[in-house]
Amino acid sequence: MKEIQVSKFKAQCLRLLDEVNRTGEPLTITRNGQPLAVINPVTVTKTRADFGIAKGTAKIKGDLITPVVEPSEWEVLS
């Protein structure tokens, strides 16, 4: 892991960020020899679209239209 003093990081920030992104190697920023922060490269993962994600996973079992109970048993219809 590469280390750099905070004063040097401030002067070369953009170049160092590009380097971390390009090489994939983390960068530790130090102050008085003590670690202050660590910069890690971002890992981008490809996401799937939500629409259609469950396509082909459902199965119809039985009749979906016929009521389970007789209409005479429905309180709402009385």
Delimit the domains of the chain by residue range: 1-42
Strand residue runs (E) in the chain:
2-5, 27-31, 34-39
Other CB atoms within 10 Å distance of the CB of residue 16 = 18
pLDDT at 54: 84
User: What are the CA-CA distances from residue 20 to residues 3, 8, 60 (Å)?
Assistant: 12, 15, 52
3-state secondary structure of 6: helix
Q: What is the pLDDT of residues 34-65, one digit of tens each?
A: 999 999 998 877 777 788 888 889 888 888 88
**Global confidence as pTM:** 0.55
Query: How far apart are the C-alpha atoms of 31 and 33, rounded to whole Å?
Result: 5
User: How confident is residue 16, by pLDDT bands cut at 50, 70 and 90?
Assistant: very high
> 15 is written with which tokens?
């170049």
User: How confident is residue 29, by pLDDT bands cut at 50, 70 and 90?
Assistant: very high
For the domain spanning 1-42, the CATH number is 3.40.1620.10
